[in-house]
Structure 1
Amino acid sequence: MIKTLAKQAMEAGGFYALDKPVGITSQRALTIAKRQLKIKKAGHSGTLDPLASGLLVVAVGSWSRLLAFVLGADKVYRATVRCGLRTDTLDITGAVEGFQAVPSALGAEAVQAGLASFLGTIDQLPPAYSALKVNGVRAYALARAGEEVTLAQRAVTVYAIDLLDLVRSGPFLDVVIRVHCSSGTYIRSLARDLGELLGTGATLHALRRESIGSVTLASAKDPASLVSDDRLPLSAVFPDAPSYAIEGELLTQARNGHALACPRALGDGKEVLVLAQGDEPEYQRLVGVYGVQGDKLVPLRVVPPEGAR
């Protein structure tokens, strides 16, 4: 028992920001991070393809159940779209389906106008080579097997899309953009659609995720160099959530997942971080994330105290 509790104490909950390198899967990056932190349980905030680099938000220990609050957050990406080239996967790793020289007359004005057409809420067709399921099977598995994949369009929101650079690369035109979008937006699909709009075809040449919600690459670490002190403060993940510290009977009720009376100061509909009173770091005192419902604080996700079985 002592050994078990000691081992669990090493697996302290928390959030970490990883900078995933190009060339490895998100799962591989998570495995490296788990080895560095000497923990067994962890999850991440959403897959990046091996082609892509950038931000993964990782939750470890019992905090993995809090990833639900990160998964739906807005994202910011820096992407390079190669106009003049079409591939089956909609990125540079795929098989070439066609190419054409991009006219020299195609410049910033036309590209800007094309990009502007994607602003707001749009219907987007996901890539056939995606992790979405068709009758219980991953779409990419069907596509790789040569089967025709039919996916439904779905609504996504592009809040901002900025043209950063235009670079001539032989017969191609590389369009470098920054995209602020809702969760579930496929930048590969955006690249495809921009190419069709410009009449050149296009594929995604490079992608880097710069932020998830309020967490940015500024706080991210290489998975192979991660240490426990790199844990993100709660304010980095929940910047707008007020905290409510409790003790005694209230703490016992909260640990057991009961609703609590809501102080008037918190009655604004926001998520609330409920903490145990004390001088320990916040990650040791977090009870859970609660929501305001009338005069009650209702548990959305509760995490057990460190060392609990």
Structure 2
Amino acid sequence: MSAPHGILLVDKAPDRTSHDVVARVRWLLGTKKVGHAGTLDPMATGLLILGIGQGTRLLTHLVGLDKTYEATIRLGRATTTDDREGEELGEVVDASGLEDAAIAERLTSLCGDIEQVPSTVSAIKVDGRRAYARARAGEDVELAARPVRISRFELTARRTDGPYLDLDAVITCSSGTYVRALARDLGAALGVGGHLTALRRTSIGPFAAADGTPVPARGEGDDVELPLHGLGDSAARVLATLDVDEQGARDLADGRRISRGAEPLPAPAGLRTGPRTGSEEGELVAALGPDGVLCAVLRPRGEHWQPVLVVPADARS
């Protein structure tokens, strides 16, 4: 049986780590070559994008895509982790009477291009160790602010629970944004403290959680179908595309450049992404063979296309 290759969309269940899901997929598909395009916290649900086989090499072009979340923010108290899993900080502050206008004003300051200090328990490395590992060891962790982009922060519902005010929100943000930190900063701006109580990632770029497959935990079933999306189809959803003939596909397979003839079709409109999908020399392009299979990812170099990633013939899809 040949090794599988492709992109797998997973709808992650709550209370499971992303690494547990990756390990389970490795076992179910019988391959060690499984990677991810960004993890989710154990309490969070929703979309994980996994690369299988040669699909792992395509992940670098997916990790920078904008992400959309459905979140619930509880105002009235902060926690050590900026979410419900942390220890409570300070006293409860009555947030039940906060007016919509006051909340909307503070939301405005958290939208657009902002500088965000990541959560202390993030996976960012500080002197070679993860910030969360240092924090759990009792160390004081100070992380530098980093630029992020919040293109949508829309409140969809509000509920009171005693002194607490729970806000449901839809958030679209750049890769590297911590939604927990948005909950923390909104609570701080309102003077009442805040933390995240629920989070679901509904999309990453053009990929949706609604198209994801639940992956059963160990012992819950080994006969689950894990449908893989082809590399050609997946690449065409995030990159400009160039159709190549059979000779061009063979040349690319040998690592040779091909002449720049017809202009590629542009990447899908409205796609927001980080710097990994482009370069200072020009936009990266997915070369698709006669059957729509992914042959290579190309970079323009003068009068030629230079392959930066070549997909072996036996792994093309």
Structure 1 residues 221 and 84, CA gap change in structure 2 (3 angstroms):
same
How far is 1:218 from its partner?
Answer: 2.0
Within 1, Cα distance between the matches of 2:185 and 2:12? 27
Counterpart residue number, 1:217:
209
- Superposed, 1:185-264 pairs within 5 Å as 185-224=177-216, 227-231=225-229, 234-236=232-234, 238-239=236-237, 241-248=240-247, 250-264=248-262
Give the alignment partner of residue 149 of structure 2, picking from 144, 157, 163: 157
Q: CA offset at residue 236 of structure 1?
A: 4.7
- 2:244 is paired with a residue whose SS is strand
Find the counterpart in structure 2 of residue 179 from structure 1: 171
Q: TM-score normalized by structure 2? A: 0.86
Decide which of 78, 90, 95 is 1:86's aligned counterpart. 78
Whether 1:273 and 2:265 are equivalent positions in the alignment is: no
Structure 1 unaligned blocks of 5 or more: 1-5
Report SS of the residue matched to 2:59: helix
> The residue matched to 2:240 in structure 1 has which SS?
coil
Shift of 1:233: 6.8
Deviation, 1:55, is: 0.4
| 1:81-130 Cα shifts (integer Å, max 9, x gaps) | 11111111111001111242324430322222211211111000011111
Give, in angstroms, the shift of residue 231 of structure 1.
2.5
Paired residues, number: 294
* Aligned mates of 2:234, 2:315 — CA distance in 1: 25
- Deviation at residue 169 of structure 1 after TM alignment: 1.6
Q: What displacement does 1:60 show? A: 0.2
Q: What TM-score, normalized to structure 1?
A: 0.88
Q: C-alpha separation between the residues in 2 aligned to 1:38 and 1:274?
A: 29
Q: By how many angstroms is 1:69 displaced?
A: 0.4
> What is the RMSD computed on CA atoms of the aligned residues?
2.1
Amino acid aligned to 1:257: G
Deviations along 1:236-277, one digit per CA (max 9) or x if unpaired, are: 5532522313213x3332113232212232287543222333
User: How many angstroms apart in 2 are the aligned matches of 1:162 and 1:232?
Assistant: 34
**What secondary structure is seen at the aligned counterpart in 2 of 1:142?**
helix
Contact 1:20–1:56 (CA<8 Å) still a contact in 2?
yes
Q: Find the partner of 1:295 among 300, 303, 306.
A: 303
Structure 1 ranges of 4+ moved more than 4 A: 267-270
Q: Which has the higher helix share?
A: 1
Q: Distance in 2 between matches of 1:267 and 1:53?
A: 34
For structure 2, the 5+ residue unaligned runs are 217-222, 267-281
* Cα distance per residue 1:272-292 (max 9 Å; x no partner): 2223334xxx4xx32222233
Residue pair 1:213, 1:237 contacting (<8 A) in 2 also: no
Q: Name the % identity.
A: 36
- Which of the numbers 17, 20, 27 marks the counterpart of 2:19? 27
In the alignment, residue 298 of structure 2 is paired with which amino acid?
Answer: Y
Give yes or no for contact 1:13–1:306 (8 Å, CA) kept in 2: no
Superposed CA deviations along residues 8-42 of structure 1, whole A, max 9, x for unmatched, are x1x22111110011101001112222233332211
Aligned residues of 1:161 and 1:179 also touching (Cα < 8 A): yes
Going from structure 1 to structure 2, the CA distance change for 1:162 and 1:194 (only over 3 Å counts) comes to same
